[in-house]
Amino acid sequence: MFTGLIQGQGTLLAVRPSGGGMVFAVEADFELSDPEEGESIACNGVCLTAKNISGRRFEVDVSPESLSRTNLGKLAVGMKMNLERALRLSDRLGGHIVSGHIDATSKVLERKPEGDFVRFTFSVPTGLGRYIIEKGSITINGISLTVNHCDERSFSVSIIPHTLMVTTLGPLKQGDTVNIEVDLIGKYVEKLLLSKDHEPVSSESKINPAFLAEHGFLK
């Protein structure tokens, strides 16, 4: 589980095929304090398992599913990705609840400077429009962002100077592909509302005079 607050960037050092997927060798631009083999690290928002950790370097296995549904398959050696280590229960939840499970990819439709800020407009991936709401949360390349505007075909976010400087959104341009994870809570709520398998919960209390008498509270 993650928050969508990026800790730094990683450089893709090497790529090699493995079992139908790929193994990425990555170097972070920040210290991996207390590293643990097998810990989760979000790479461009994709939850991956770190192994062979040495200093700032580590490797991750990228499955065929992740290669087909995210932008990781488009990365080349030397390119950057956003990194976030898994959330500790004692950490501040400064972004929102992010699972690291990418729903789809999206294209940059427009990049528009607004003073020191930049407004990006992205295409709405097929089937995800109902989860994207104005002033709601969305994750783009692992970054927790607030939706400024949305309609059936597009949505926009405003990026502050700090985020432009410390993440891969800085050099992002029209036509580039990003990873999208919609708000997890919305998907669970929809599932519960549409489910036909649940039984209605009875509002009638089982505590009645007969129950009280049976258990010695009434004589």
**Residue 162 near residue 101, CB atoms below 8 Å:** no
Render pLDDT for 75-121 as a digit per residue (tens, 0 to 9): 999 999 999 999 888 787 788 989 999 999 999 999 999 999 999 99
Render pLDDT for 110-126 as a digit per residue (tens, 0 to 9): 999 999 999 999 999 99
Residue 119: CATH number of its domain: 2.40.30.20
Residue with the larger pLDDT of the pair 12 and 187? 12
Structure tokens at 117: 């800020």
% the chain with pLDDT above 90:
75
Domain containing 160: what range?
Answer: 104-194
Please state which of the ranges 6-10, 43-47, 136-140, 214-218 shows the lowest mean pLDDT: 214-218
For the entire predicted model, the pTM comes to 0.85
CA 190 to chain centre: 19
Does residue 108 share a domain with residue 65? no
Render pLDDT for 146-169 as a digit per residue (tens, 0 to 9): 999 999 999 999 999 999 999 999
Does residue 160 share a domain with residue 112? yes
Does residue 54 share a domain with residue 20? yes
Residue 141 to residue 82: CA distance in whole angstroms: 7
Does residue 185 share a domain with residue 116? yes
Does residue 70 share a domain with residue 12? yes
Q: What is the pLDDT of residue 58?
A: 97
**Residue 86 near residue 39, CB atoms below 8 Å:** yes
Residue 11 to residue 82: CA distance in whole angstroms: 9
**What is the dihedral angle through the alpha carbons of 71, 72, 76, 79, rounded to the nearest 10 degrees?**
90
| 213 occurs within a structural domain | no
